[in-house]
Amino acid sequence: MGSNQIQAPKGTRDLYPADAAKRRFVTEAWRKVSVRHGFDEIDGPTFEHLALYTVKSGEGIVSELFSFRREGGEQDYALRPEFTPTLARMFAARAGALPRPTKWFMTGPFFRAERPQRGRLREFLQWNVDVLGDPSPQADAEVIACCVALLRDLGFTPEHLRVKVNHRDALAKWLVARGVEAPRHADLFKLLDQRGKLPPDQFVAGLAAFGFNAQQAEVFIKGVIRVEIPPGATSVEVAGERVTREQLGVQDHPEEPADLTFFSDAVRPLAVALANAGVLDWVDFDLSIVRGLAYYTGMVFEVHEATGAERAVAGGGRYDNLVELFGGPPTPAVGFGMGDVVLTLIMQDKGLMPDETGMLERAGMRPDVFVISNGVPEAEAQLHPLVASFRAAGLHARHTSKATRNVGKLLKEAGDCRARHAVIIESGRSCTIKDMGTGEQRQLPLDQALGTLTTPR
RNA sequence: GUGGCCAUAGCUCAGUUGGUUAGAGCACCGGGUUGUGAUCCCGGGGGUCGCGGGUUCAAGUCCCGUUGGCCACCCCA
């Protein structure tokens, strides 16, 4: 690279054809699962007034944004770092006319002025899924179910990824019941959020300050509280505490899963909804998931690689006060965002990224036909008209740009670009169609080639 | 914003205590082997060694700075 070459900006990606196909593969998966689950696609501007972001997050956010002012202008703008403010703005603007619930999704680029590191870039794609106007746990479960469906579509299993769910109200209630009063919750949440980064003994010491003994600290260290009361049993011991069926709230519901957390007064309906959605096997209730502290009001969740490697694949939760904050009517809402960077990293690590043929296939980019002339003048004259007729009929048709008419080399080129069929023109009126997958081929009149390729067998 | 490691062809890399016009494999391009995705053969393009400065008779190699990458911290909406 010479001194006059300008590099791509820090934290951005150049997408060559194979990379663009991968991105298309992921965004198509996002779109398909969203539509299947009844969400309508929306999008907003990729830049907004700077104030839209400082209203919610304060001035401190500005250093994390790409913000700018037009030369000679007086307005401050920022490239969007997240979608929620735009979503709230859009909903607020038409709140009176929108159905309840309103189910929206979008995919698109977002920008954050952070230093790049593993799983985090300055420009990335994000999928946002939200339900507005429905306060029920069913809505919570619905967005989680949509998220899990995407993971399934991409080939993940509950052994690869875990959906870590918490409930801030439930956690707060549970803490109060154990003598940790509300004013201290913020500090405790911060401690919980830091769990992965603190040395274990320091974390235990921190919890001791809130009155938790070593045994109870174990619950937080493991991060996962999963209480299963075996059929017939009435209680089970968890981290030094005896938990009864009654406490789980399932004593009257023998048909419901007894696989709940022991702070389940508030969580039980959510757990039941998740069970009904068929995704409970992906879910761990995890007290350490608190999602910053920003604006979540109830359920919160993150998707993590099962061993805890990598940063979160997705995160979201309930934000019942936010639409009002952006000038709309009081509106309960729940949703999540998923970035492409960590998702793609883990897919590659787990061997779930399709090979090139599969990727082009699922991205709809595989050529239907590769047209070859054997070089005789009569065949040569038919090459471009035939390609044109294929394309006019809607087929993805290619031909070589090379000078050689060596059929072997040209078939190799057809194979390299993953064409489904090759058509070898051998005279003014005859050609051979070869199925590149099976190797089968047959000769037929040239004027039947188009019909053969466009007619499903 | 802080710190560590790194930078030679599109990719993966070699390049001696500093010493002539900087190399290989793969990929790419052209040709050949009777018109079938292979193998093989011949030929070709492509790098002022990320960039800038310094030391030296001489710098891909040593020093400083800078840009970018990777990783961690801060942060993570």
ipTM of the complex: 0.89
d(CA A182, CA A189): 11
Question: How would you class A440 by CB atoms within 10 Å of its CB: exposed for 0-12, middle for 13-18, buried for 19 or more?
Answer: exposed
Residue A419 lies inside a defined structural domain of this protein: yes
Does pLDDT of A247 surpass 60? Answer: no
Q: Which of A13-27, A61-75, A284-298, A350-364 bottoms out in mean pLDDT, i.e. has the lowest?
A: A284-298
| Half-sphere CA count of A13, side-chain side, radius 13 A | 21
Number of residues written out for chain A? 457
**One-letter amino acid of A152:** R
Q: Give the pLDDT of residue A315.
A: 95
Nucleotide whose C1' lies closest to the alpha carbon of residue A436:
B37
Nucleotide whose C1' lies closest to the alpha carbon of residue A400:
B29
Q: Looking at the structure, tell me whether residues A307 and A372 fall in a common domain.
A: no
Q: Which of A11-20, A43-52, A153-162, A226-235 bottoms out in mean pLDDT, i.e. has the lowest?
A: A226-235
A80-94, A229-243, A273-287, A369-383: which has the highest mean pLDDT? Answer: A80-94
| CA distances in angstroms from A69 to A9, A51, A117, A134, A365, listed in the order given | 19, 13, 28, 38, 40
Provide the domain count of chain A.
2
Mean pLDDT value across residues A156-171: 89
The residue from A300, A323, A356 where one domain ends is A356
Q: Give the pLDDT of residue A252.
A: 53
Residue A448 lies inside a defined structural domain of this protein: yes
Nucleotide whose C1' lies closest to the alpha carbon of residue A290:
B76
Q: Give the pLDDT of residue A230.
A: 59
**What is the per-residue pLDDT across A164-177, written as a single tens digit (0 to 9) for each?**
998 887 778 777 77
Q: Looking at the structure, tell me whether residues A159 and A288 fall in a common domain.
A: yes
Q: Looking at the structure, tell me whether residues A244 and A383 fall in a common domain.
A: no
Our measurement of CA A46 to C1' B35, in angstroms, reads 54
Our measurement of CA A357 to C1' B45, in angstroms, reads 30
Does pLDDT of A400 surpass 60? Answer: yes
Q: Give the pLDDT of residue A140.
A: 96
Our measurement of CA A406 to C1' B36, in angstroms, reads 10
Residue A63 lies inside a defined structural domain of this protein: no
Nucleotide whose C1' lies closest to the alpha carbon of residue A13:
B69
Q: Which strand (E) or helix (H) includes residue A161?
A: strand A161-167
Residue A141 lies inside a defined structural domain of this protein: yes
Our measurement of CA A209 to C1' B37, in angstroms, reads 70
Residue A78 lies inside a defined structural domain of this protein: no
Q: Residue A113: give the domain boundaries.
A: 17-45+83-356
| Structure tokens that stand for A310 in this block | 């990598």
Residue A4 lies inside a defined structural domain of this protein: no
Our measurement of CA A305 to C1' B10, in angstroms, reads 33
Residue A386 lies inside a defined structural domain of this protein: yes
Our measurement of CA A212 to C1' B14, in angstroms, reads 60
The residue from A303, A327, A356 where one domain ends is A356
Domain with residue A143: its CATH number is 3.30.930.10
Q: Give the pLDDT of residue A72.
A: 93
List CB contacts of A17: < 8 A, sequence separation 6 or more: none
Within residues 294-333 of protein chain A, the ones with CB less than 7 A from nucleic strand B are: 294, 311, 315
Q: Looking at the structure, tell me whether residues A170 and A270 fall in a common domain.
A: yes
Within residues 90-129 of protein chain A, the ones with CB less than 7 A from nucleic strand B are: 112, 114-120
| Structure tokens that stand for A179 in this block | 């003598």
Q: Looking at the structure, tell me whether residues A320 and A176 fall in a common domain.
A: yes
Q: Looking at the structure, tell me whether residues A165 and A253 fall in a common domain.
A: yes
